[in-house]
Structures are given as structure tokens and as C-alpha cells.
Amino acid sequence: MKRPRRTAKRRATPKRRVAKKKARVAKHRTAAKRAPAKRVAAKRKPAARKPKRALKPKRAPRPKRAQRPVPPPAFPQAQGASERDRIMFRMVRARATVMAAVQGMGAATAEIPFGPGKWNTRETILHLVTRDRARLREMEAALRGVQASWNGLDHQEQAVVNQEDLVPLRSLSWEDALRLLLTTREQLMEAVESIPESPEAVWKEEHPLGWMFQRLPNHDVHHADIIKHWRVGQGG
């Protein structure tokens, strides 16, 4: 059998091509017009309302903090006191520091030297006695403007004076040394109190009397610290 001949497709005429093109354009325009309408409709849908949160109860206002009272001065006894009375107060406080440093110390411990060639506690206490005695001897002259005999001495010269003053007291026991420390300071306090408060210039460090007593409390505290540090190193 003979196969049928294939007939070539007819090419679209220009009129048909124009008609198809117009149909495609019209189809796209229709789709473009419908799409915005769908989007607008979607936007107009009412959103689902979220449930309202329960309102938290308001906190009660915090009570205002009461202002802290201003602390009193550390040592009200010295407030408004004269220069003489302030010196006396410092002397009492410094001597209390010395007594605290030797609290509970026995006679045997008081004989142990602080180090090679150094004093022991008993000798240190007797040294404090000699410095109180030196002021008892020279305070009247200092009141008249005479400089203390140890004013201007260097360290070595002062060490010689200290050793010489200590010679007549070295044989005293530990108990006698403590007793003499208390009685000598009582005598010195009475002597200081017997001098008038005014003029206050005589109690300033620029005056020989003031120089003599302004330095005494620090001298007590210095030796009290030496004793305390030594006791800590010795295990009490």
C-alpha cells in the first residue's frame, strides 16, 4: 500500500496571527484586572481579634526610706574643747592603747627581748615612765618658753638619754613597772590640768610647752604598736 502523503501545515495568515495576538493580550489584561481585586479582598478580611490581656493590679507605692541619721563624731568629748583638753583626751586614749597592748601579759613574757640588742616589754613600759617624768621636770620651764632638753637631739643622742634615764628603774619587777606607769601618768595629768587653758597659743606645737605635749600621745601609741606586733609574732 502506498502511504498517504503528508501535507504541509498551512501557515497562519497574517490576519490569524494578529487575531491570536489580540486574544493573548486580552487574556492577560483580564487576569491582571482580577488579581488586584483578590488582593484587596484579602486585605479587607477582618483580622482575628486577640483576647485582651488581664490588667495587672497596680503595685502599691513603696514607702520612702527614712533618711539615715548623721553619725555622731567619733569622739564627741573633744568637740568644742580647748586645746589643752584635747591634748589631755589624746593622752588618756593613747595610754589606754598601751594598757591594751600588755593586757594579760605575764612577767616571764615581759622579760623576752623584742630582738637581739632590743628592749623587752618591761623595759619599754619603764621607758614610758621616764618620758612622763621628763615632762614633769621641765614643763614649768617650757611654759616660760624654754625648749625641752631633748628637742633637737638626733636618734643616737636620744638613745643615750633613754638608756641613762632607764638605769635607776631597771631593777623594778613587771608588776612594779605597771604600777609606776599608772601613778606617774596620773601625776602628769594633774600637772597639765593645773595650767590654765588660755592663752591657747602655749598649747600649740610652736610653743615649747605645746611641742612637749602634742608629741606625747603619738609616742605612747608608737611603743604600744611595737608591743602588739611582737606579741602577734610570738603567738600571743
Residue 53 resides in a domain: no
Residue 160 resides in a domain: yes
83-101 vs 216-233: helix crossing angle, rounded to 10: 20
Distance CA 200, CA 184 (A): 25
Count of domains forming the chain: 1
Residue 65 resides in a domain: no
* CATH number of the CATH domain containing 220: 1.20.120.450
Residue 173 resides in a domain: yes
Residue 158 resides in a domain: yes
Residue 90 resides in a domain: yes
Distance CA 140, CA 142 (A): 5
**pLDDT > 90: percent of the chain:** 64
In this prediction, the residues of the chain whose per-residue pLDDT falls under 70 are 1-16, 18, 25, 27-48, 50-57, 64-79, 235-236
Q: What are phi and psi of 7, to 5 degrees?
A: -95, 135
Q: State which residues form the domain around 129.
A: 79-233
Residue 183 resides in a domain: yes
Instruction: Quick: pLDDT tens for 55-74.
Output: 666 777 777 666 666 555 54
Residue 48 resides in a domain: no
- What's this model's pTM, rounded to 2 decimal places? 0.68
Instruction: Quick: pLDDT tens for 164-196.
Output: 999 999 999 999 999 999 999 999 999 999 999
Enclosing H/E stretch for 188: helix 174-193
